[in-house]
Chains A and B, each alone.
Chain A
Amino acid sequence: MTQQAEIHFDRVTKWFPAQNEGAEPFRAVDGLSLDITRGEMVALLGKTGCGKSTTFNLIAGLLEPSEGVVRVQGLDPFSNFNDLRGKIAVVFQNDRLLPWRTAIGNVELGLEMLNKTATERREVAQFWLSRLGLSGHERDFPHALSGGMRQRVSIARAFATDASILLCDEPFSSLDEITGQRLREEFASLVRENGKTAVFITHSINEALQIGQRVVVMTRPARIAYDVRLGGDAKSAQEEIRSRIQDVLAA
């Protein structure tokens, strides 16, 4: 493990038991080794079903690895589940807002888990909702908000806890192109401004290149096929990386 690694995978494998009789157990992650340092914005890129979401759930501590070691800030996110409270925030593919809570109630959810006072919760939630352009919608229930607005609320919920690690599982894939593009830019600038470590899962090469400082391309079952840091802005370099990624994904 590199010394500054915020997220560390060492030969991690994840098997899922067979769903039907006679079927083989399913290996979603295969000997994955990966280090992500503090403040890095990493895009995990791969085709649908390549184990990106399983990798994501392993980092979040929602799944236990079958083999190998996963560490987040030096702790096992599965067995030290509660010790990482408030340190990891997640933005899911769909907004996953609690339908019985208003927009502000949803943003306050993570802060409730951190035992913040009601006043503090309200202030922080209000700040993040207005930061994401949702002033005036605090009392709206999710069903009254558009898809883009709901996803903004879920981003506000993630930032409100001030977690140092942000995990994002294709959070803009269900939005239209223009809204997705705008939110992506806002999201990337918020991550940079707040010095977060972000792991961004995507199946879109454009999105990975736009948002990541580093792109990790995965093949099925989840294993690193290509790992590149996006240094310069030179268009030719970007095109070369894009072409390489396309070759890896096509292989």
Chain B
Amino acid sequence: MITRSALMRLAQVLAPFVLLAVLWQIASFNFPKYLFPSLVDVFTHIVAIFSSWTLFSEVLATVGRITAGLIGAFVGGAMIAALMFRYRAVDRFLTPILNFFQGIPALSWVVFAIIWFHGTEARIFFIMTVTSLPAFTFQVLDALRGMSKDLVEMVMSLRPTRVKMLRAMILPAILPDILTAWKVNLGNASRVVVVAELVGATGGIGYELLQQQQVFDMAGALAWTLQLVFFVLITQRVIAFIEQRAFRYRAVSERAL
């Protein structure tokens, strides 16, 4: 049974979106369609995307690119972070390089990728990986450095193998930071993928946005943008669910901060 407080929480979440939708709809009555299309038009486009496999496969292509890029960046970043954590010299050598990489705008990477690579997928995978890798590296490195020395020593006193140390201590200790890193990088990656597809692809949400811009179809542009937003929201919910299950050991104070 849905409780009154659950309904209140739902209302609090929905209220700003309802307000935004109402304001948009009012604007659509007073401005031309190419500036503020009716929400009905936007909804029709969304339904069309979901109903046509050809269109929906464009959404899946973008989702696949984000996922592949983030996995590549995470695996690479985690390995580099482990080396930096283990070897001081590697840390000293790589930190300035990673900082330098972080300063390069995503759009520059898009240009480099177009020059360096021929295939669309290779270009986008490279862009997605190289833009998320430094952040993942620093986040995993911080998580490793933040592990409790007391707990590490306690587990070490039991003389674990490397695999057991990883399973019993390291992974559970850094998991909260890893999930936070995924949440942050997911948002960034969804923005970068659109830029990459806009310039360097012949399919995907970014490419479709370019098509809508060329015909001044604001309803279509919004519908495609919302596909990406839906993906990010669904993924964030999945991560939140994992957090809820995995971190139930955390004590919760009755008095909020």
Cross-interface CB contact of B249 among A94, A99, A112, A161, cutoff 8 Å = A99
User: In the docked arrangement, what's the CA distance between A229 and B149, Å?
Assistant: 35
Q: How would residues 40 to 81 of chain A score, 1 for a CB under 8 Å from any chain B CB and 0 otherwise?
A: 000000000000000000001110000000000000000001
Chain A 112-128 interface residues, beta-carbon cutoff 8 Å to B: 112-113
Q: Are B158 and A98 neighbours in the complex by a CB distance under 8 Å?
A: no
Size of chain B's interface in residues, with CB distance under 8 A? 21
With a cutoff of 8 Å between Cβ atoms, the chain A residues found around residue B247 in the complex are 100
Looking at A14-22, A82-90, A193-201, the stretch in contact with chain B turns out to be A82-90
With a cutoff of 8 Å between Cβ atoms, the chain A residues found around residue B164 in the complex are 112-113
Q: How would residues 231 to 254 of chain B score, 1 for a CB under 8 Å from any chain A CB and 0 otherwise?
A: 000000000000000011111000
With a cutoff of 8 Å between Cβ atoms, the chain A residues found around residue B150 in the complex are 92, 94, 96
Q: How would residues 151 to 187 of chain B score, 1 for a CB under 8 Å from any chain A CB and 0 otherwise?
A: 1011111111100100011001100000000000000
Cross-interface CB contact of A90 among B154, B161, B172, B249, cutoff 8 Å = B154
Q: Are A96 and B151 neighbours in the complex by a CB distance under 8 Å?
A: yes
With a cutoff of 8 Å between Cβ atoms, the chain B residues found around residue A61 in the complex are 159
Cross-interface CB contact of A110 among B158, B161, B248, B250, cutoff 8 Å = B158
With a cutoff of 8 Å between Cβ atoms, the chain A residues found around residue B172 in the complex are 98, 100
User: In the docked arrangement, what's the CA distance between A163 and B112, Å?
Assistant: 60
Q: Are B168 and A90 neighbours in the complex by a CB distance under 8 Å?
A: no
Q: Are B151 and A143 neighbours in the complex by a CB distance under 8 Å?
A: no
User: In the docked arrangement, what's the CA distance between A82 and B157, Å?
Assistant: 10
Closest-by-CB residue of B relative to A86 is: B159
Determine how close the nearest CB of chain A comes to the CB of B251; give it in whole angstroms.
4
Chain A 175-226 interface residues, beta-carbon cutoff 8 Å to B: none
Q: Are A82 and B154 neighbours in the complex by a CB distance under 8 Å?
A: no
Determine how close the nearest CB of chain B comes to the CB of A143; give it in whole angstroms.
4
Q: Are A143 and B251 neighbours in the complex by a CB distance under 8 Å?
A: yes
With a cutoff of 8 Å between Cβ atoms, the chain B residues found around residue A98 in the complex are 151, 155, 168-169, 172
Determine how close the nearest CB of chain A comes to the CB of B211; give it in whole angstroms.
48
Q: Are A113 and B249 neighbours in the complex by a CB distance under 8 Å?
A: no
With a cutoff of 8 Å between Cβ atoms, the chain A residues found around residue B159 in the complex are 61, 81-82, 84-86, 113
Closest-by-CB residue of A relative to B251 is: A143
User: In the docked arrangement, what's the CA distance between A194 and B159, Å?
Assistant: 22
Closest-by-CB residue of B relative to A99 is: B249
User: In the docked arrangement, what's the CA distance between A62 and B161, Å?
Assistant: 15
Q: Are A62 and B156 neighbours in the complex by a CB distance under 8 Å?
A: yes
**Which 6 residue pairs of A and B lie closest in terms of their CB atoms, listed nearest first?**
A143-B251, A85-B159, A96-B154, A90-B157, A141-B249, A100-B172
Measured CB to CB, the residues of A under 8 A from B are 60-62, 81-82, 84-86, 88, 90, 92, 94, 96, 98-101, 109-110, 112-113, 141-144, 161
Measured CB to CB, the residues of B under 8 A from A are 150-151, 153-161, 164, 168-169, 172-173, 247-251
A-B contact pairs, 26 of them (CB 8 A): A61-B159, A81-B159, A82-B159, A85-B158, A88-B157, A90-B157, A92-B150, A96-B150, A96-B151, A96-B154, A98-B151, A98-B168, A98-B169, A98-B172, A100-B173, A100-B247, A100-B249, A109-B155, A112-B164, A112-B168, A113-B158, A113-B159, A113-B160, A141-B248, A143-B249, A144-B251
